[in-house]
């Protein structure tokens, strides 16, 4: 009897889980499906749910319009430079914070966290107003600076954790052997934490690639990929929306899975644990 | 410690140099002159421009065209930014008819009066006025536009209905659809912004109202009618503007809706919905009225390649290009001699366009059109969505409009 | 002050390393914030004043933006915590290879950019979209529902759409929390004869408290600032504070009112965080 109830409970739970799984996968499936569906299958009072007919027409339109490459290149460049800038500022700062007395490093982490409380629109508006004056709208550099505002705190938190995990003994030993603090940082600490630095870099990359709010304030004529998706949402073209959505999503999904295959959730939470 | 600081600074400046290097090089092309063009188009339109229109020009004048997509509102801001920085990186642009005055008022466009003869004789007089401010020509008309009314012929036949010819018939058609289908099937463009303002403006004029009054009989009549009609409209009306309307016509959310003629190609060619037909549309209680919209070409102050830009204008106004735009995109031509070039399947739709243009009305080009839009939108939200009292809300909007116009007056004088 | 002095003396090396970070935040966070404050007093009109504040606070759209923001945040936060905790506990119990597989399946939305998930949700919540199609197919619905027509269904739909994107993050934070609970506690509880519910309420929940707080604060901040989802799903129809601020600037060309709306949003976030910390009594 107890066994029956338990099996039934287990079955129910599994069913619920499968429902959740369906809910998680369905939007992504839809995106791919619509980019491959003929208009007749989608634009009807009750759209088809299955993928019965396939057309490459929308992908042909996407590739032939010449609208793909400039945003793609811009997104890649901005994300790449954001990683560079975030690490350039983040690595030394995080190392410093990790070495400060506990109470100070705690205060600084909290301060950085508080910067997140400022809504993006509060930061984006003045930057946009100033950039208009300086004609910096649409430049890659302008967007990189804005994206770094978002990426820097995250990179720092991750890196603080990474640097803390390096045994202090190693550094003290090196110091006894006559190495300067500078040498310790570059010869010991950074080589030991290359993996962690890479993770921080990937996070910065993802944040910049996905970023929408700053981008919509700071780009007018030269959009990034997320803006291109929004352009089609606005234009009411479901098919090119989905095709661009697939292009925008693919690299992020791959990177996210690569990260998660190698990392445990502690890394995500750990950076926030302080 | 000092060394650390120095190295830090060194690193930062190295990155900055790298940045500058990247941007400095990015816009330099090969030897051929590059004509930089700004337009706000849909993807279909871009693809025709880039594959069938621009290449001809590039070949003929041994140049390269680099084109940018900018929405009409953003363009004013962008051009202002470039002028202020003294680096105008655009040579010629297309702009929405209703967004011209700010460009003139802020002194951002070139006076092209001396090139007026670039406009061919085949362009009707009425279309030229839109580019003239204070007696000077600032913009070349190149794309007139008027909304026609699309209807789902299958559904109209199924319910034994005819496309409505006036407001009463519009209301009764809307009621029939709602009764038979349980959901409204008539679409109005109530998304907000410019499409809604245009929609309301057209109705007000056809009800005998004055453009910015808000309080005269025409305005009150329009909103009383809309309030009566609103419950029978398709719920997607709230999201309808010129582009989403195509989706709603195609997926059966709208059986009847106005839209610009570019929709002909999208509905019939891209979405294969050939049962959607068109006619000129319904008249108002006082007169028939169809807002003439569209786009013009202008040259920004401080742009390079003046000669080439003017050649481009001439090229875009040529019979050849206008024919391509008509046949491939369903754009009504700016030249009367091109109408004959419509393809057979387009013919019935363009009869509708011609009929609508006969009752064409222009919107006055004013500095405060943006404010006007905002007030119209708030009136729509308050009266239709929230169900507030028609006269009260209009009174309030009218007062605000007066204030805005007074301000514009004093600013214009000073 | 004495501690600051000591810090300056003992940790000069660290402070120098921190300089770029400090400068960056000064230039790209603190200064914009101050400039935003200045903008809110409408300097463009020639003199500083409260016109923009008056205009915003008398705008009925602003009122609904505030309400919409609060409702969407509250609903999505509750959904995310509930679902996230459920999923985290399932994965935690599953263990081994299955835990890994479930985890990888459920984090799929993490890899989908915000604007893309908004676009996908549009397909689902459209009048002739896929949610109505599914409901009709399984016979739950005869006609159609206008999910984005305004009112409660729309707010709920936006909250659900947000939940889709964000639950994995909450799940991961709580999963880390579950893993931090010493296993011996459960063992001894079982010896004392506690059932699954008692274990949950007397061990799991109290020990997860720190992690739940963290999840609520992190997620709460983001929920208040929600932007691309309502922008793409409902545009101007269902304003939240961020989109209100955006439209004021981009569509109506009015930086002053946009700045005011942004500041109100900032204050709301601040009140939420401080209020939560105060109520929960955690530093």
Render pLDDT for B120-179 as a digit per residue (tens, 0 to 9).
Answer: 999 988 888 889 998 899 999 999 999 999 999 999 999 999 999 999 999 999 999 999
Tell if the CB–CB gap between C173 and A269 is shorter than 8 Å.
Answer: yes
Specify burial of residue B192 (Cβ count, 10 A radius: 0-12, 13-18, 19+): buried
Residue B414 has pLDDT above 50, yes or no: no
Can you give the pLDDT at residue A271?
44
CB nearest to C12's CB, from B1, B252, B381: B1
CB nearest to A65's CB, from B22, B46, B77: B46
User: In 3-state terms, what secondary structure has residue B49?
Assistant: helix
pLDDT band per the 50, 70, 90 thresholds, residue B22: very low
Q: Are B132 and B43 found together in one domain?
A: yes
Residue B100 has pLDDT above 50, yes or no: yes
Distance separating alpha carbons of residues C187 and A169, to the nearest angstrom: 37
The distance of A48 to chain B (nearest Cα, Å) reads: 12
The distance of C240 to chain A (nearest Cα, Å) reads: 12
Evaluate whether residue B7 is within a structural domain: no
More confident residue, B370 or A225: A225
Evaluate whether residue B52 is within a structural domain: yes
**Helices A2-36 + C151-180 axis angle, to 10:** 120
Evaluate whether residue B311 is within a structural domain: yes
Can you give the pLDDT at residue C36?
94
Interface test with A, best of B43, B91, B302 (most A CBs within 10 A): B43
Can you give the pLDDT at residue C114?
93
The distance of C34 to chain B (nearest Cα, Å) reads: 22
Nearest to residue C151, comparing CAs of B387, A99, A26, B221? B387
Residue B29 has pLDDT above 60, yes or no: no
Which tens digit of pLDDT belongs to each residue from C224-281? 999 999 999 888 788 999 999 999 998 878 899 999 999 999 999 999 998 888 887 6
Q: Are B131 and B160 found together in one domain?
A: no
> Any chain C CB within 8 A of the CB of A245?
yes
Which residues in chain A are closer than 8 Å to C29, comparing Cβ atoms? 115, 118, 123, 149
Spell out the residues 6+ positions from residue B28 whose beta carbon is closer than 8 angstroms to its own: none
Evaluate whether residue B375 is within a structural domain: yes
Q: Are B271 and B377 found together in one domain?
A: yes
Which residue matches tokens 């010869």? Answer: A187
Evaluate whether residue B406 is within a structural domain: yes
Which residues in chain B are closer than 8 Å to C238, comparing Cβ atoms? none
Quickly count: other Cβ atoms within 10 Å of residue A19's Cβ. 10
Give residue B193's domain range: 148-291+364-413
Q: How large is the greatest C-alpha to C-alpha distance in chain B, in angstroms?
A: 88
Tell if the CB–CB gap between B182 and C143 is shorter than 8 Å.
Answer: yes
Q: Are B153 and B286 found together in one domain?
A: yes
Which residues in chain B are closer than 8 Å to A144, comparing Cβ atoms? 19
Domain boundary among B349, B376, B395: B349
**Rg of chain C on CA atoms, in Å:** 23
Which tens digit of pLDDT belongs to each residue from C67-109? 999 999 999 999 999 999 999 988 888 877 888 888 888 989 9
Can you give the pLDDT at residue A1?
55
Which residues in chain C are closer than 8 Å to A126, comparing Cβ atoms? 31-33, 35-36, 39, 259
Average pLDDT of chain C to the nearest whole number: 88
All domains of chain A, ordered by start, with CATH? 29-59 (no CATH), 75-270 (1.10.3720.10)
The distance of A27 to chain C (nearest Cα, Å) reads: 6
> Any chain B CB within 8 A of the CB of A103?
no
Nearest to residue B119, comparing CAs of B304, B307, B316? B316
Total structural domains within chain B: 2
> Any chain C CB within 8 A of the CB of A54?
no
Q: Are B335 and B287 found together in one domain?
A: no
Tell if the CB–CB gap between B374 and C150 is shorter than 8 Å.
Answer: no
The region, left, alpha or beta by phi > 0 then psi within -120 to 50, assigned to residue C42 is left
Average pLDDT of chain B to the nearest whole number: 88
Q: Are B320 and B265 found together in one domain?
A: no
The distance of B146 to chain C (nearest Cα, Å) reads: 23
Report residue A123 as tokens. Answer: 């930061």
pLDDT band per the 50, 70, 90 thresholds, residue C283: very low
How many residues comprise chain A?
Answer: 274
All domains of chain C, ordered by start, with CATH? 59-280 (1.10.3720.10)
The three-point CA angle C267-C270-C275 to 5° equals: 125
Mean pLDDT calculated for residue range B42-69 = 91
User: In 3-state terms, what secondary structure has residue B299?
Assistant: coil
Can you give the pLDDT at residue B24?
42
Which residue matches tokens 């007397």? Answer: C202
pLDDT under 50 in chain A at which residues?
Answer: 269-274
Q: Are B276 and B370 found together in one domain?
A: yes
Evaluate whether residue B19 is within a structural domain: no
Can you give the pLDDT at residue B1?
40
CB nearest to A139's CB, from B23, B245, B250: B23
Can you give the pLDDT at residue C27?
92
Quickly count: other Cβ atoms within 10 Å of residue A234's Cβ. 16
Q: Are B248 and B384 found together in one domain?
A: yes
Q: Are B101 and B155 found together in one domain?
A: no
Which alpha helices (DSSP H) does chain C contain, by range?
Answer: 2-10, 12-25, 31-40, 51-57, 60-94, 96-106, 114-125, 130-137, 151-180, 183-191, 196-199, 205-224, 228-234, 241-250, 255-280
Closest alpha carbon within chain B to C142: B182
Can you give the pLDDT at residue B356?
94
Q: Are B116 and B188 found together in one domain?
A: no
pTM of the model: 0.87
User: C241 near C268, Cβ under 8 Å?
Assistant: yes
Q: Give the H or E element holding residue B290.
A: strand B290-298
Distance separating alpha carbons of residues B132 and B129, to the nearest angstrom: 5
Tell if the CB–CB gap between B1 and C60 is shorter than 8 Å.
Answer: no
| CATH number, position B111 | 3.40.190.10
Q: Are B104 and B50 found together in one domain?
A: yes
Q: Are B188 and B287 found together in one domain?
A: yes
Evaluate whether residue B230 is within a structural domain: yes
User: In 3-state terms, what secondary structure has residue A195?
Assistant: helix
């Amino acid at each position: 009897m107890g066994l029956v109830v338990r099996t039934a409970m287990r079955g129910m739970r599994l069913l619920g889980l499968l429902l959740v799984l369906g809910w998680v996968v369905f939007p992504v499936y839809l995106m791919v499906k619509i980019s491959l569906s003929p208009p007749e299958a989608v634009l009807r009072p009750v759209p088809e749910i299955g993928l019965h007919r396939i057309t490459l027409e929308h992908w042909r339109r996407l590739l032939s319009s010449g609208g793909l490459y400039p945003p793609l290149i811009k997104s890649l460049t901005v994300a790449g430079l954001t990683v560079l800038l975030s690490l350039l500022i983040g690595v030394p700062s995080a190392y410093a914070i990790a070495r400060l007395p506990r109470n100070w490093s705690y205060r600084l982490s909290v301060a950085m966290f508080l910067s997140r409380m400022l809504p993006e629109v509060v930061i984006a508006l003045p930057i946009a107003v100033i950039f208009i004056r300086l004609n910096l709208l649409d430049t890659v550099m302008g967007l990189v600076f804005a994206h770094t505002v978002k990426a820097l705190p995250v990179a720092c938190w991750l890196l603080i954790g990474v640097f803390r995990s390096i045994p202090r003994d190693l550094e003290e030993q090196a110091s006894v052997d006559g190495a300067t603090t500078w040498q310790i940082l570059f010869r010991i600490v950074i080589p030991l934490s290359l993996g962690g630095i890479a993770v921080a870099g990937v996070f910065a990359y993802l944040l910049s690639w996905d970023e929408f709010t700053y981008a919509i304030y700071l780009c007018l004529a030269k959009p990034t990929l997320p803006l291109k998706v929004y352009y089609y949402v606005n234009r009411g073209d479901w098919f090119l929306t989905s095709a661009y959505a697939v292009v925008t999503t693919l690299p992020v999904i791959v990177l996210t899975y690569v990260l998660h295959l190698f990392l445990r959730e502690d890394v995500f939470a750990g950076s926030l644990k302080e | 410690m000092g060394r650390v600081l120095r190295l830090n600074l060194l690193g930062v400046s190295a990155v900055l140099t790298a940045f500058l290097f990247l941007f400095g090089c990015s816009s330099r092309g090969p030897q051929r002159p590059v004509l930089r063009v700004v337009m706000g188009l849909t993807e279909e339109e871009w693809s025709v421009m880039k594959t069938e229109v621009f290449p001809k020009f590039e070949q003929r004048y041994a140049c390269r065209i680099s084109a940018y997509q900018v929405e009409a509102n953003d363009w004013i801001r962008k051009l202002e930014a470039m002028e202020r920085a003294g680096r105008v990186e655009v040579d010629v642009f297309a702009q929405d008819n209703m967004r011209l005055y700010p460009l003139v008022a802020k002194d951002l466009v070139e006076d092209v009066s001396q090139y007026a003869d670039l406009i061919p004789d085949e362009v009707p007089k009425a279309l030229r006025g839109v580019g003239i401010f204070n007696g000077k020509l600032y913009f070349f008309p190149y794309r007139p536009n008027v909304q026609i009314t699309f209807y789902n012929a299958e559904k109209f036949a199924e319910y034994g209905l005819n496309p409505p010819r006036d407001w009463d018939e519009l209301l009764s058609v809307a009621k029939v659809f709602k009764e038979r289908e349980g959901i409204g099937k008539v679409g109005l463009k109530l998304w907000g912004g410019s499409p809604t303002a245009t929609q309301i403006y057209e109705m007000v004029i056809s009800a005998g109202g004055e453009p910015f009054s808000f309080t005269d009989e025409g305005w009150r009549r329009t909103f009383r009618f809309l309030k009566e009609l609103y419950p029978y409209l398709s719920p997607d009306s709230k999201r309808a503007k010129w582009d989403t309307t195509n989706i709603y016509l195609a997926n059966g959310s709208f059986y009847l809706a106005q839209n610009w003629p570019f929709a002909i190609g999208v509905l019939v060619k891209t979405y294969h919905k050939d049962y959607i037909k068109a006619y000129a549309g319904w008249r108002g209680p006082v007169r028939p009225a169809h807002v003439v919209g569209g786009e013009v070409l202008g040259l920004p102050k401080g742009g390079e390649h003046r000669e080439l830009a003017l050649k481009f204008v001439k090229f875009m106004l040529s019979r050849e290009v206008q024919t391509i735009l008509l046949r491939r995109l369903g754009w009504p031509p700016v030249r009367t001699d091109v109408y004959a070039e419509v393809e057979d399947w387009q013919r019935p739709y363009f009869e509708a366009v011609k009929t609508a243009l006969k009752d064409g009305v222009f919107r006055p080009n004013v500095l405060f059109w943006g404010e006007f839009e905002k007030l119209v939108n708030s009136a729509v939200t308050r009266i239709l969505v929230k169900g507030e009292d028609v006269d009260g809300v209009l009174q309030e909007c009218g007062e605000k409009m007066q204030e805005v116009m007074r301000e514009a007056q004093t600013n214009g004088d000073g | 002050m004495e501690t600051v002095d000591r810090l300056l003396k003992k940790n000069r090396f660290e402070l120098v390393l921190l300089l770029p970070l400090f400068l960056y935040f000064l230039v790209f966070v603190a200064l914009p914030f101050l400039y935003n404050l200045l903008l809110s007093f409408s300097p463009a009109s020639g003199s500083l004043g409260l016109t923009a504040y008056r205009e915003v606070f008398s705008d009925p759209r602003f009122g609904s933006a505030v309400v919409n923001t609060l409702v969407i945040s509250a609903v999505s936060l509750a959904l995310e915590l509930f679902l996230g905790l459920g999923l985290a506990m399932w994965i935690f119990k599953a263990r081994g290879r299955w835990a890994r597989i479930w985890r990888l399946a459920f984090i799929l939305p993490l890899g989908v950019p915000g604007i893309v998930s908004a676009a996908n949700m549009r397909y689902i919540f459209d009048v002739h979209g896929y949610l109505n199609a599914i409901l009709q197919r399984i016979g739950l619905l005869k006609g159609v529902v206008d999910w984005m027509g305004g009112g409660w269904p729309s707010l709920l739909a936006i909250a659900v759409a947000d939940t889709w994107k964000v639950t994995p993050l909450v799940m991961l934070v709580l999963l880390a929390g579950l893993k931090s609970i010493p296993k011996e506690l459960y063992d001894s509880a079982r010896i004392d004869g506690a059932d699954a519910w008692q274990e949950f309420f007397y061990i799991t929940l109290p020990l997860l408290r720190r992690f739940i707080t963290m999840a609520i604060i992190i997620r709460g901040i983001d929920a208040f600032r929600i932007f691309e989802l309502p922008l793409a799903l409902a545009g101007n129809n269902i304003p939240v504070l961020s989109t209100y601020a955006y439209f004021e600037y981009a569509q109506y060309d009015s930086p002053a009112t946009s700045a005011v709306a942004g500041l109100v949003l900032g204050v709301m976030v601040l009140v939420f965080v401080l209020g939560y910390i105060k109520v929960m009594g955690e530093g």
